A and B are shown apart, each in its own frame.
Chain A
Amino acid sequence: MTRQKIDADLIERVAKGTATATECDHLEKAAAIDPVLREQLALYRALPEAVRPPQLDEADWMRLERRVMAAWESESPRTPVRVPAWAFSAFYGALALVLVIMGAMLVNRTDLPTESDTAFKLTAPPQPFDTGFPGPRGLTAAVTIDERKGNPYVGIHSLARGWVQGGDEIVTAADEQVTLSLGKRATFTLKAESALRFHEYKGRVSPYLAYGEIDCRIQHDPSRPFILLTPEARLIDIGTEFTVVVDPENDTHRVSVREGAVRVERRGATAEVHPGEEADWSSKRRGVRVRAVPPPTKPEVRPPQVSGIPDRPEREPAKQPRIEPAPAKPQVPQPRMDEPAQVQVTRTSWQRTLEALPTPVRGRIVRFYDTVERQMGSGYTQRAILNLENFLDRQRGPEREKAEFLLSECHYQLQAYAKAQAAFLHYIQTYPDGTWSEMARFRFAELSRKTR
């Protein structure tokens, strides 16, 4: 019997115990003088033990069962409740009744403006301000940042090119301030803890003060009024300088005029505010209240307490700048359209990654991540994992960063700690300075402690 024959068949049969006695003798003799053969036989005999399933004790099984059931409960839909047929009729009947009542209330509502409501109509139809010219990306408006204090978040992706579009925003934190020029005639100073967004409004890009305080200097042109939007009203300039404060939390909105005049328009009411006057309005009452404010003894304008922005220290009223006295002849900075604004804004690596993407791709990526985060939030973690893995299979760019992190988070949510740990480690190694690397390091350390 040759060595080859022994290697191929005999060792296996002897190891399994299916060989004949003669074959066993033959192999034993050969193995006695050949250490390689002896080792092969020993390895073959160790095969069943090597691949035997590990013995999990009851505590391990219980732990695994808890994990499985938790994951299953998080992804399984609620057991459908069998609703009797009459309940459907009753439900739809009640719904129809409610809709009818609401419709009737809407029809009979008196405070809504109508076509014949002259108070709501503009005395002169507003002409487009010099914003809102159609560009390659839709409506855009020229903007430059003139001065910055602190490091405000400027969510304007195209700012380096000198224009903004609907959806862009600037948000300042405490002790931050930004001065910017919009178009050729408007200069704003956005004070601390404020948010200014840009909306597409009636065919133009209009600034919208979501909350906070803004100081405006407008070069007035009667044929082309400038409009500033706020949550409760729109302000149309007749003059040049005014300050607007919007505090949605306390339902306080007011405008004070230093020079020229401002017309405040809101549902069912309009009012003109002149220098030395202050107008305020609220969502709970109709109309606009105008009152005179003596400039020298006027108490300091209390800054709004901004809601919706967590983790920001409360603003100290003493440090806030008072409304600045108006210069005799306002110097309106000239727009610098030829030289794009140089903005040094600290943004996360993920924001930079998104900005670098072409707009259609960015839209798709953002929508994808929105979907995945929604799935994760509503307990469909396995579905989110599937989506993320498909995404990671296809995408090869830096836009994978968030997917890598979310995948780790999904495993963590499912209590697949070994997987989660490996995934977090992979994320940390791939993106050591990534947006979520600190969180990933924390998770990794936490899992290391758990799995120790």
Chain B
Amino acid sequence: MTTRDERLEQVVVRCREGEQAAFSELFRLIRTDILRIVVSTVGPDAELEDIVQTASLEVFRSIRRFKGQSKFSSWLYRLVVNVALQHLRRRKTVPRPIDVGGLADVLVAADEDPESVSVHRERLRSIREIIQEIAPKKRAVFLMHEVDGFTPEEIADKLGVSRLTIKSRLFYARKDFQRKLRQQAMLMASREKTAKLSESDEEV
């Protein structure tokens, strides 16, 4: 057991005893885990901080129910994934804020080729859109598999769902992803072709 795990174990015990100061420490220990789980469940989202906040509060509320029968990380994973999925369900009723991105999305470093940077950003944006279009449960499994590298068995264990269900979700999620990716690739390729044709017209 690493030093961090030992520390986490102690803090969890203090939180379960109701020590208010321990919650702040717990947050600092698990905040990156929560963010990673949220991203791997809902994908890139403008409301990541809000989801992290909701998930952290849910962890604080539920910490008394953690009996230590499983690993804390597994318990945390399942809880945060459920919060994130709940957020996705709720979001249907509330309009999403428009994510205009930060300044870093606009600026290009001096040593970078603006065109290639622009194309790369376009690809990232396309990928994010494709991921957002996958159904939430399938998306969670797909991202856990693709981003975190979990096997279907591990995902089944963390989400408390049967292995066959996970495999099925993963299969359909990949199928969806590949289909949409191909459509997007065709679209981008045709754009590139059109751009080249217009350039050659200008040269003529």
Contact = CB atoms under 8 A, between A and B. Distances in A.
Interface string B25-64: 0011001100110011001101111101110110010000
Given A36-B185, A71-B53, A47 B146 contact: yes
Interface residues of B, number: 51
Interface string A54-72: 1010001100110111011
B193 A35 contact: yes
Nearest to B177: A47
Q: Main secondary structure on chain B at its contact with chain A?
A: helix
B23 to A, nearest CB: 6
B57 A382 contact: yes
Contacts of A72: 23, 56-57, 60
A382 B32 CA distance: 23
A387 interface: no
Contact of B47 (A38, A53, A418): A418
A48 B31 contact: no
Contact of B178 (A8, A60, A67, A68): A8
A2 interface: no
Contacts of B126: 43
Contacts of B39: 51-54
Interface in B77-122: 90, 93-97, 120
Nearest to B49: A64
Contacts of A53: 32, 35-36, 39
A382 B61 CA distance: 11
Interface in A364-401: 382, 389, 392-393
B71 interface: no
Contacts of B173: none
A65 B28 contact: yes
Contacts of B90: 389
Contacts of B97: 418, 421-422
Contacts of A52: 39, 147
Given A51-B146, A56-B35, A418 B184 contact: no
A10 to B, nearest CB: 12
Given A47-B146, A51-B43, A65 B24 contact: yes
Contact of A418 (B27, B50, B123, B192): B50
A393 B49 CA distance: 25
B124 interface: yes
A124 interface: no
B188 A39 contact: yes
B128 interface: yes
Interface residues of A, number: 49
Interface string A69-81: 1011101100110
A412 interface: no
Interface in A293-348: none
A421 B50 CA distance: 12
A151 interface: no
Contacts of A382: 57
Nearest to A54: B48
A51 B131 contact: yes
A79 B57 contact: no
Contact of B57 (A37, A49, A68): A68
A46 interface: yes
5 contacts: A36-B185, A44-B181, A51-B127, A68-B53, A71-B57
Given A36-B189, A65-B31, A389-B90, 17 more contacts: A7-B178, A36-B185, A39-B184, A43-B123, A43-B181, A43-B188, A46-B120, A50-B128, A51-B39, A51-B43, A53-B39, A69-B24, A72-B23, A416-B53, A418-B50, A418-B97, A426-B95
Interface of B: 18, 20, 23-24, 27-28, 31-32, 35-36, 39-40, 43-44, 46-50, 52-54, 56-57, 60, 90, 93-97, 120, 123-124, 126-128, 131, 143, 146-147, 178, 181-182, 184-186, 188-189, 192-193
Which 5 pairs between the two chains have the least Cβ-Cβ distance? A50-B127, A39-B185, A35-B189, A40-B185, A53-B39
